[in-house]
Structure 1
Amino acid sequence: MDEKEKERKFEEIIQQYSTVLHATARRELYVNGATYDWSRAEEAVQEALAIAWTKRDEVLASKNIPGWLVNTLRYVLKNMARQDQQWKKQIMLTQKDLDPTLIQPPPGADLELEGLVSAEEYTLLRQVYVERIPYEELCQTYGIKKSALAMRVKRAKGRFREAYLESEKIFSDLSEQTGSARHNTSRGGPKR
């Protein structure tokens, strides 16, 4: 089968099973209590289809194409839930003054997440991962399209990750230096 034929066959598969995939994603998100935001279901379906596209030879050779697609979608949904939990935990851990039982942070807690991200980026990440405000509502609030909002979230997460990892590296380097200095002085001073 040549590439054009594979593309045509894959487009047929998308048309045939996209409704089933969307319904499955919505049901899984609803049942697991992750979100009522159907744009997250769309995001999961798009990711599953992107994976299917990269493995199109495997998909086209499968005897159970809908099963392959649904299983891939379920793995994507599990990864999304895991990532959401990790982001929520990181935000909560780095914002020490924030009580996890509160949705609204205490006064002053929104000041730049200990210098890791800007106040605007922190607010956006908190709205998406802690408060679980649906993308549609945030799009209206910010006056932007869903794709632009998704890109803002992705970039804010990237900056947060880079800054967080850098601060962790600096902290561990300082700990090592302090630990080795203590180790050297405990044996009668630095080694020569």
Structure 2
Amino acid sequence: MFKNFFKNKRKLSFKICEYYQSKPKLNIRSVIEDLLLGIPQEYLEGLGAVVLCDSDSFMEHYETDHTPLGRYNHPIEKDELPWIEIVIDKLIQELGGFVKIPFIRDLIIGNTLYHEIGHHIHRKESLEKTHAEEIAEKWRKKLSKYYLNRKYWYLAFPLRILVLPFRRLIEKKLKNKTSVALW
């Protein structure tokens, strides 16, 4: 019933590209597509592509000691559009055994994707580089909440009741790992 929740309503105005040296078992493209179609499209205006890759493909293009979960890239040339890279094998590793649970999968993958979209929104609205991470995090929380409340509306009330007594403890524990929006 919820498999194609957002797909019938709109189409993306940019490409989703995949570059893997070893293709993941999970059909991550459809998850990313749902997450992108599940938020207001005006936030995605001016975005050229979302690139899905694995750690090896990512490391071929960047000289860095650690591989991030995602990266927002703004072009050097004025006629090019910015793009987002998502490192899929790192995200699947973050998910662990929860990879087959749609709510948790959307939550974890959405956190990375929406954080990078937050950088895109910030870049569109302001050329200031100050507080870029804080602003991206605010947008991540806002977009995650929007998506999760629309797709998993039936979980909102039970989760609030279950999580409320433990919210601060959960957020404190998750702060060091992956910050999660809990409604």
Q: Which category of TM-score, normalised to the shorter sequence, fits these structures?
A: under 0.3
Q: Relative contact order: is structure 1 or structure 2 higher (C-alpha 8 Å, sep ≥ 6)? A: 2
Higher strand share: 2
Look at both structures and tell me which one has the larger radius of gyration over its CA atoms: 1
TM-score by length of 2: 0.27
